[in-house]
Amino acid sequence: MQTINRKLTFPSLFAETLQKFPNQAAYSFVGEEAITYKNAYQRIRAVMAFLEKLQIKPGDKIAILSHNMPNWGISYFAATFMGAVTVPLLPDFHPFEIDKYVEHSGATLLFVSRNLEYKIKDIEFLMPPTIICMDDFSIVKSKVRNLQFDAQAVPTKEYSVQENDLAAINYTSGTTGTPKGVMLSHKNIAFTAIKAVEIHHVDEHDRIFSILPIAHSLENTLGLVLPMIFGCCVYYLQKPPTLEILLQAMKTVKPTAMITVPLIIEKVYRENILSKVNRTWMRRTLYAIPVVRKAINFMFGLLLKRKFGGHLKFFGVGGSSLDATVENFLMEARFPYTVGYGLTETAPLLASSSPYHTKLHATGQVINGIELKIDNPDPITGEGEILVKGNNVMQGYYNEPKLTKTVFDRDGWLKTGDLGMLDKDNYLFFKGRLKNIIVLKSGENVYPEEIETVINSFHYVDESLVVEQKGKLVALVHFNKDEIADNYEDLQTEISEYVEKRVDELKVELEEYVNKRVSKFSRVQSVISQEDPFKKTATLKIKRFLYTKNG
């Protein structure tokens, strides 16, 4: 296993960057002037001094509940530089979840952004004794009286932070309904960030556009810690990231790199590409011809790059599987995308590839410096559970020794709970979650994710979920009714009546479409229209447990 000859702690790595790039832009809201790494360090030191006066000590837990902003990273690094442990909380957590995780972690201080204070309003009496507004570091609640943040202050103590010291307790967003506190050290996170740059090079000239919640380990490692180590500038939105706002912001920032989740690029594809293709019968016919489709996709790719600011070199997609049709388009469009695979428990990256070495439907090559193997692979398919070892593997689940023991085997391998296979080039192919497998009465194993990929390639489908109901495979499908309504031409019929009638027709067409493209064991017996969008985690993965009979 390869090693990295640097001290893998945040204060040590920040010091290296400060020495190399003190005047390099570090953090900024879109459209505003960035603060430099020198400015950021001064602000971090001032927050450390503030935390000292609030009686925070090494090992104390500090929760962070905030939308993305420069002060998110400032607060995170201030806490970890002095040996405290951060508890990042996702902005979409429900108040009862926030209460539960704050209590479970034993947090003694909470940073909260002003626009999320409403989430703790009714449970403030259950919150830590100290609450700080992250926007300006004003005190919301504290036992220490007459204290104000001093932007010029410096800490009075020296802190010795070690690689294996705990940096964060990340509570997973819960697609299974059982969130856990993942303990990640400085080394876990920094190791992953440094290894990620072996996949795609970044430096002080790069502009990172951060749109996923920094509280999620994917954005935390690759969108906060990685840019800090390599001197990049990170840009944040001040508004909710609707598609229109995202595209407008990218024209301003002209990002060179960003991390996102499949649903965002899938929505861009359907609304900006597929809608144009399907506008007329002639276009659909031409697009069905492979050589013509590839030429059209290449032209669309040029358009898409311009929409994304024109300078994009790395467009990382993670969090869940990318729709096969969308990935095929991105590859033919020569768009600089790459797919990644990992877990919060591995800080999080395990496999990825550069945008110039992607392999269709693969999650990339196993990253250097970790061990990954397929446990007891099927002799025919090569599929088995993915097991890993390495410097990025968590220390365990906080205050859950029995649960921690269940995810490690006797030889110290972390059992991911995911099915996958490795090809001869060491590319990893993700097949689905073990717990999601549907076992039919015939004894056949069905992977719902594979069927959902086929369903999602059907016109007018936004998203889907395959579940078992009374021994039958049922597809829950959310159709894009707005797009259906766009094709309304019948002046004799009410538009709502037309849409509902068309949905009924599409359900029949979709069932036939899917069952021609899957094995006989994976055929769906019925299609049910899902009126509302599925409830999702912060990385826009469907909370599957809410829709399954065993959820």
Burial-class residue 280 by CB neighbours within 10 Å (0-12, 13-18, 19+): exposed
Predicted confidence at residue 1, as pLDDT, reads: 42
Per-residue DSSP letter, 322 = P
Tens of pLDDT, residues 150-195: 999 999 999 999 999 999 999 985 544 556 899 999 999 999 999 9
Tens of pLDDT, residues 24-36: 999 999 999 999 9
Distance CA 292, CA 288 (A): 8
* Under 8 Å between Cβ of 88 and 168: yes
Supply the mean pLDDT for the chain: 91
Q: Which of 201, 212, 191 is nearest to 356 (CA)?
A: 201
Other C-beta atoms within 10 Å of 311: how many?
14
* Under 8 Å between Cβ of 131 and 112: yes
Predicted confidence at residue 453, as pLDDT, reads: 84
Tens of pLDDT, residues 501-548: 999 999 999 999 999 998 888 899 999 999 999 988 766 778 888 888
Please report, for the chain, the start and end positions of each structural domain, with discontinuous segments joined by +.
10-235, 261-435, 438-546
Whether residue 145 has pLDDT greater than 90: no
Fold of 438-546: GMP Synthetase; Chain A, domain 3 (3.30.300)
Tens of pLDDT, residues 444-463: 778 898 898 889 888 889 89
Instruction: Tell me the average pLDDT across 492-497.
Output: 76
pTM exceeds cut of 0.85: yes
Q: How confident is the model at residue 483 (pLDDT cuts 50, 70, 90)?
A: confident
Tens of pLDDT, residues 292-330: 999 999 999 999 999 999 999 999 998 777 888 899 999
Q: How confident is the model at residue 484 (pLDDT cuts 50, 70, 90)?
A: confident
Predicted confidence at residue 276, as pLDDT, reads: 85
Burial-class residue 401 by CB neighbours within 10 Å (0-12, 13-18, 19+): exposed
CATH architecture of 10-235: 3-Layer(aba) Sandwich (3.40)
Q: Which of 115, 119, 151 is nearest to 133 (CA)?
A: 115
478, amino acid identity: H
Q: Angle, nearest 10°, between helix axes 448-456 and 495-515?
A: 130
Other C-beta atoms within 10 Å of 264: how many?
18
416, amino acid identity: T
Predicted confidence at residue 200, as pLDDT, reads: 94
Predicted confidence at residue 218, as pLDDT, reads: 93
Tens of pLDDT, residues 382-413: 999 999 999 999 999 999 999 999 999 999 99
Ramachandran region of residue 319, left (φ > 0), alpha (ψ -120 to 50) or beta?
A: left
Whether residue 491 has pLDDT greater than 60: no
Distance CA 336, CA 344 (A): 25
The answer to whether domain 10-235 and domain 261-435 are alike in fold is yes
Whether residue 214 has pLDDT greater than 90: yes
Q: Angle, nearest 10°, between helix axes 37-53 and 70-81?
A: 60
CATH number of 261-435: 3.40.50.12780
